[in-house]
Amino acid sequence: DQQVKQNSPSLSVQEGRISILNCDYTNSMFDYFLWYKKYPAEGPTFLISISSIKDKNEDGRFTVFLNKSAKHLSLHIVPSQPGDSAVYFCAAISGNTPLVFGKGTRLSVIA
Amino acid sequence: DAGVTQSPTHLIKTRGQHVTLRCSPISGHKSVSWYQQVLGQGPQFIFQYYEKEERGRGNFPDRFSARQFPNYSSELNVNALLLGDSALYLCASSLVLGPTGNQPQHFGDGTRLSIL
């Protein structure tokens, strides 16, 4: 049973527009959520995280929103740039447990 | 500062063989975790080590084993390789036991293992 779900395998966005990547989870014990970005032939790179006690965290062009009642989080990238084209993984943790990843969403930013 | 380094970057083996993958964490990081990423999936947790002790194990068969050395580097060993073991194997390190929201794990670029 997948505890972290990214239901959109891919997303295409025009340069300068907003990219919204979605993630759903089933385990209410998760207390931190993280987004990682992965380029081909490289390992995942940490992007941004949010604690379960918050509903928003912002870092430059990246903002993560958390809706605990809906067990849903989203990553907003504004404005989107061609260099943002990558696979984005949503991940969650509970205490000291290892990261639980979603399957990823491939973002393509078109110039 | 050097990030997490993994070796080799690519490896081709045949069924039934054994493989050893290596990982050097970021300097000062005492926790190392291993993940397997199959094409089209997210990374799946295999092992976690902290201060040279196994602190967690994912749902993988006993053919998979690992250890952490006094310098905090780590090895992942896989015996009796199967075709399904073909994957990208990722190593991640963190300062503390397990990742936390404000002390996230940092990943290496992985070892691409192909089983023929």
For residue B65, what is the enclosing H or E element? strand B64-68
Query: Are B45 and A100 within 8 A, CB to CB?
Result: yes
Question: Which residues in A32-55 are b (16+ Cβ under 10 Å) and which e?
Answer: bbbbbbbeeeebbebbbbbebeee
Q: What is the rounded distance in angstroms from the CA atom of residue B69 to the CA atom of residue B87?
A: 24
Residue among A40, A35, A108, A42 nearest A74 (CA): A35
Query: Are B42 and A50 within 8 A, CB to CB?
Result: no
Q: What is the rounded distance in angstroms from the CA atom of residue B113 to the CA atom of residue B1?
A: 27
A&B contacts, CB < 8 Å: 70
- pLDDT tens across B48-84, in order? 999 899 999 999 999 999 999 999 999 999 999 999 9
CA A90 to each of CA A33, A81, B2, B55, B69: distance values in angstroms, whole numbers, following the listed order: 7, 20, 25, 23, 31
Q: Which residues of A touch B58 (CB under 8 A)?
A: 98
Query: Are B45 and A95 within 8 A, CB to CB?
Result: no
Query: In terms of CA atoms, which chain A residue is nearest residue B93?
Result: A98
Query: Are A99 and B97 within 8 A, CB to CB?
Result: no
Q: Which residues of B touch A46 (CB under 8 A)?
A: 104-106
- pLDDT tens across A23-57, in order? 999 999 998 999 999 999 899 999 999 999 999 99
Q: Which residues of B touch A48 (CB under 8 A)?
A: none
Phi and psi at B83, nearest 5°, equal -55, -35
Q: What is the rounded distance in angstroms from the CA atom of residue A34 to the CA atom of residue A59?
A: 13
* pLDDT score, position B96: 77
Query: Are B106 and A46 within 8 A, CB to CB?
Result: yes
Q: Is the pLDDT of residue B98 over 90?
A: no
Q: What is the rounded distance in angstroms from the CA atom of residue B36 to the CA atom of residue B45?
A: 7
